Amino acid sequence: MKTAPHQPPASAPSPVLPSRPILVVGASGAIGSQVVRALVARGARVRVLIRSLERGADLPPQVERVVGTLEDCQAIARAMRGVHAAFYVSPHDEREEQLAENFVRACELEGVRLVFSGVHADGKNRLSRLIQRTVFGLLMPHYKPKLRLAERVRTSRTNPVVLVPGNYFQMDEVSREELLAGRYPLPLGLVPRVDTRDVGEAAARALLDPSVPSGGYALVGPESLSGAQTAAHWSEALGQLVSYTPDLAVMDALFSRAYGARKALDCQKSYRMVGKVKVRTSPADLQQTTFLLGRPPRSHAEYAREVAALWRGAVPIPAAAYPLPSAAS
Ligand SMILES: NC(=O)c1ccc[n+]([C@@H]2O[C@H](COP(=O)([O-])OP(=O)(O)OC[C@H]3O[C@@H](n4cnc5c(N)ncnc54)[C@H](OP(=O)(O)O)[C@@H]3O)[C@@H](O)[C@H]2O)c1
C-alpha cells in the first residue's frame, strides 16, 4: 500500500454515487453513526451490520440492516455481498484483533475497499513505522493489539484507507455536569483533537470516491489543544468561567458512568497518556484532513458553542445523581 501523498491533490469534484451499498460496522456507536449520517446526507445507499434490530432503531429508515456480529464470519459475508466499499472501526473488545481479522479477510475475499478509522503508527517507511509502534506500545501497552490490527488493515489487499483521528471533541460531553459546574476534569497535555462529524465526513469521501489514494490520513482539527485551551473554549461557549482541573478520580468515575466496562477502561488508560503528551498538529496532517473533507476541519471553539446552545435548550439537568469524588479530593 502506498502512503498517502504528502502534497495531496486539490479536493476532487464529487464523484458519481455508486449504485451498490456501502457497508458500515459500528453504526450504533460514536464513529459509525457519523459515517452513516454523512453517507445518507450524500444520498448513498448504506447497509449496516448490527447486533440486533433494537441497536439500529435510531438509524434512518432507508438504511439496510443485516443482523449479526463480527464474531460470525457468515454474517459478515452476508453483509459484505455486493457492496461498493466497507467501513470498519474496532470495537472495545478483548478479541478486537480476531474481529478485525474476520472483517479484513471478508473484504479481501470480495475485493472490497476497506476504510478504517483507528489508532495507527503511520510512518513514511517500514523503519519509522516500527519505531513509532515500539514507542507507542511502550507508552500505551494496551494499544498494542490496536496497532497490530491497524497494521493488518494497512497491509491488506483491500486498497485500504486508514484514517487516524486525533482525540475526539465529543469526549468532552462525558463531563457535562462538571463543565456546567465550571470545571474541565479530563487531563489533556497538548494533543490534536477532531470533531467526530469530520471523521464521518472524511470516511464518507474515502468510501464513495475511488480516486482517493490508498494510504494513511491524519484527521485533526485546526490546531492541537491543551486542557487549559479546551476549558477556555467552554468558558466562552457557556458564558461562565470553566477552569482546567485535571482529576483522574473524577475522570475515572465519569467514564465508568458513561460507558461499558471495557470502553471505560480503554478511555481511562488513554487519558492517562493523553494528559502527559505534547503533540503539535503538523501542516501535513491538517492538509490531509482538508483534502478528505474538501474544506478546513471544524474547530473546537465552534463545536463547544454548538453543544452549549443545545444544552441551553435542553431540560436542566439535576445535581449529579451519581457518586463523584469532589474535584478537590
Ligand atoms: N480518538 C478518540 O478520542 C477515541 C475515543 C474513544 C474511542 N476511540 C477509538 O474508537 C474505537 C471505538 O469506536 P467508537 O467510539 O465508535 O465505539 P463505540 O461508540 O463504543 O461503538 C462500538 C460499535 O461497535 C459495535 N460492536 C461492538 N462489538 C461488536 C461485535 N462483536 N459485532 C458487531 N458490532 C459490534 C457496537 O454495537 P452495539 O450497539 O451492539 O454495542 C457499536 O455500534 C476504538 O478502537 C477506540 O480506540 C478513539
Does residue 305 share a domain with residue 229?
yes
Residues of the chain with pLDDT under 50: 1-12, 317-329
Residue nearest to atom 40 of ligand 1 (CA): 51
The number of folded domains in the chain is: 2
Q: Report the SS3 class of residue 203.
A: helix
CA of 258 to the centre of ligand 1 (A): 13
Distance 304 CA to ligand 1 centre (A): 23
Pocket of ligand 1 (CB under 6 A): 26-32, 51, 55, 69-71, 89-93, 99, 118-119, 146, 165, 167-168, 171, 263, 266-267
Atom number, ligand 1, closest to the C-alpha of residue 70 = 32
Residue closest via CA to ligand 1's atom 3 equals 167
Distances (CA, A) of 309 to 151, 243, 257, 276, 305: 40, 20, 24, 31, 6
108 lies in the same domain as 170: no
Non-local (6+) Cβ contacts of 106 within 8 A are 73, 76, 77, 80, 112
Asked, for residue 240, whether it belongs to a domain, the answer is: yes
Residue 328 resides in a domain: no
By residue range, what is the domain housing residue 242?
166-195+220-282+295-309
What is the pLDDT, as a whole number, of residue 140?
77
Q: Whose CA is nearest to atom 6 of ligand 1?
A: 267
Q: Assess if residue 145 is contained within a domain.
A: yes
CATH number of the domain that 72 lies in?
3.40.50.720
**pLDDT at residue 141, rounded to an integer:** 81
26 with 157, same domain? yes
User: Are 54 and 178 part of one and the same domain?
Assistant: no
What is the tens place of the pLDDT at every residue in 261-295? 999 999 999 999 999 999 999 999 999 999 999 99
Find residue 215's DSSP bridge partners: 161
Q: What stretches of 107-156 adopt beta strand conformation (E)?
A: 113-117
Q: Are residues 85 and 171 in the same domain?
A: no
Please state, in angstroms and rounded to a whole number, the distance separating the CA atoms of residues 299 and 113. 30
84 and 130 part of one domain: yes
Torsion of CA 226, 259, 253, 98, to 10 degrees: -80
For residue 315, the model assigns a pLDDT of 55
Residue 317 is assigned to a structural domain of this protein: no
3-state secondary structure of 156: coil
pLDDT (tens digit per residue) in 2-18: 344 434 444 445 678 99
HSE value, Cβ hemisphere, 13 Å, CA-based, for 4:
28
Tell me whether residue 124 is in a domain. yes
Are both 30 and 161 inside the same structural domain?
yes
Nearest atom in ligand 1 to the alpha carbon of residue 99 is: 31
Phi-psi region of 39 (alpha: psi -120 to 50; beta: other; left: phi over 0): alpha
Measured in Å, residue 104 CA sits from the centre of ligand 1 at: 17
What pLDDT does 115 receive? 98
Please give the number of the atom of ligand 1 that sits closest to the Cα of 118.
Answer: 45
Q: How close is the Cα of 88 to the center of ligand 1, in Å?
A: 10
Residues 159 and 171 in one domain: no
- For residue 60, being part of any structural domain is answered with yes
Residue 118 domain-assigned? yes
- Helix, strand, or coil here: 196? helix
Distance 219 CA to ligand 1 centre (A): 18
Is 206 inside any structural domain? no
pLDDT of residue 316: 54
